[in-house]
Amino acid sequence: MFTILVVEDDAKLRQLFCTVLTRHGYRAVPAGNGEEALEMLDKEYIDLLICDIMMPRMDGFELTRTLRDHNQQLPILMVTAREQFADKQQGFLVGIDDYMVKPVNVNEMILRVGALLRRAKIISERKIEWGGTVLDYDTLTVLQGPESTLLPQKEFYLLYKMISYPNKIFTKQQLMDEIWGMDSESDEHTVVVHVNRLRERFRDSADFEIVTVRGLGYKAVKRG
């Protein structure tokens, strides 16, 4: 069972979040401010943190900064009434993973919590399992049943990125910037070539395919 620390100075809202999380199978631990949260983190293992920005004694920004400075990599979902872009920007700069503006739709919160936990698992294990396919980041290898395929580095990173975010559309430029780097002298045609190579390699895969979204880019989707 995943343990989620809810850091919110509004007692009613804190209780609501904890109740909803518990109903969805999580163990919810409450804290009223950043200092209480740090004390709780010293006592037990926490899988994910939900926190407000405006809190007494230690706010959400300071709490996040403190955790990241001490190499705490647990996912952080910030929930706040402050909806200005500058506030969101500051949150991401200090190290949060996602952001929701009050009033919060608790059903959406549960979806975001699940997505953050899945992504954290992928990052920590450096493996993705999708049906009968396993992508091993450390060996650049794709396992499909008894078959093992060692990919060139850029091809593997491209496939790993898209399968990490199933059904998400990536533009050629996004993939170019992330896989090859923003300073690369290669052009977007390089992405097309690598995608075509991946399609050829895995044309018989029962688990996934890379789909072209005309005028936008590419996405990985499940087969079957």
pLDDT in tens, 13-70: 999 999 999 999 999 999 999 999 999 998 888 999 999 998 988 999 999 999 998 8
Cis bond upstream, residue 30 (ω within 30): no
Q: What CATH number matches the domain at 127-222, 1.20.1070.10, 1.10.10.10, 3.20.20.140, 3.30.70.2190?
A: 1.10.10.10
Looking at residue 185, its pLDDT comes to 79
Tokens at residue 29, please? 């631990």
Neighbours of 56 (CB within 10 A): 10
Rounded Cα–Cα distance for residues 215 and 112 (Å): 28
DSSP 132: T
pLDDT at 123 over 80: no
pLDDT at 1 over 80: no
Q: What are the phi and psi torsion angles at 74 (to 5°)?
A: -60, 145
CA distances 90 to 8, 53, 60, 172, Å, are 19, 11, 11, 28
* SS3 category, 160: helix
Band of residue 224 on the pLDDT scale cut at 50, 70, 90:
low
Rounded Cα–Cα distance for residues 128 and 141 (Å): 11
Q: Residues 75-107: pLDDT tens digits?
A: 999 998 887 888 888 889 999 999 999 999 999
What are the sequence ranges of the domains in the chain?
3-125, 127-222
pLDDT at 120 over 90: no
Query: In terms of pLDDT, which residue wins out, 80 or 181?
Result: 80
Rounded Cα–Cα distance for residues 195 and 218 (Å): 9
Q: Specify the pTM.
A: 0.59
CATH of region 3-125: 3.40.50.2300
- Report DSSP letters for 62-76, one per residue: HHHHHHHHTT----E
Q: Residues 131-163: pLDDT tens digits?
A: 899 999 889 999 998 899 999 999 999 999 899
* Matching residue, tokens 């955790």: 67
Looking at residue 86, its pLDDT comes to 87
Q: What are the phi and psi torsion angles at 187 (to 5°)?
A: -110, 180
Q: What are the phi and psi torsion angles at 18 (to 5°)?
A: -65, -40
Looking at residue 209, its pLDDT comes to 95
Band of residue 183 on the pLDDT scale cut at 50, 70, 90:
low
